[in-house]
Amino acid sequence: RHEDELSKQVTELKLSFIALRDGLLRGGDQAILNAVKNAEVLDKRNKRIETAVHSMAASLREYLRTAVAADPDARVHLETSMRELDAALGLRQKPRPQMAHGNLQHAKIVSIDPESGVLVVNAGATQSVNRGMTFDIMRGNRKVAEAIVADTRTDFSGLLPISQSNPEEQIRIGDVATVKTSQR
């Protein structure tokens, strides 16, 4: 709804500039005055919308901080949309999710690439994760799968699943990766 309103305002502004350009070519002062008035009205409206969006985003962040997510995918989608909104408003240059750092015993799966199946966990080189390490993927006290570290960066790593305990039970965002201390 807000996107439609903003799109409409951009179109109106473009039309105002076209009218301004045509008026200048014909020497019309009235076109200049009308365009300035329109631009001022649109600027005030955009500022009110921006203020309302900031307020709504702050309320959503506060709600997400305290809410228990029944659907983790919906939560991730909402957080991604909010980062995109922040970028569109100029609050962020490059959207990047804030994530808590995991460790070798408790690294959360924060993303799953649908094409490659790579599991991204919130532990990396800083937390002593190295290529080739194997992790058990746990959901509560149950082992869901086993994965091997394919790549590691400073604060996150990419794991590839190598076996699943139950092929019908898929690995999900929020599952926990725990380093295997002994190879069986």
pLDDT digits (tens, 9 = 90+) for 22-45: 554 555 555 555 655 677 777 788
The two structure tokens encoding residue 98 = 């804030």
> Does an H or E element contain 139, and which?
strand 134-139
Q: How confident is the model over 110-122, as a mean pLDDT?
A: 84
With beta carbons less than 8 A apart as the criterion, state whether 97 and 79 touch: yes
- The CATH number assigned to the domain with range 107-179 reads 2.40.10.340
β-strand partners of 176: 108, 138
What pLDDT sits at residue 56?
Answer: 82
The two structure tokens encoding residue 9 = 């305002």
User: Residue 149's pLDDT band (boundaries 50, 70, 90)?
Assistant: very high
Single pTM value for the model: 0.47
The rounded distance, in Å, linking the Cα atoms of 133 and 19 is 65
With beta carbons less than 8 A apart as the criterion, state whether 15 and 23 touch: no
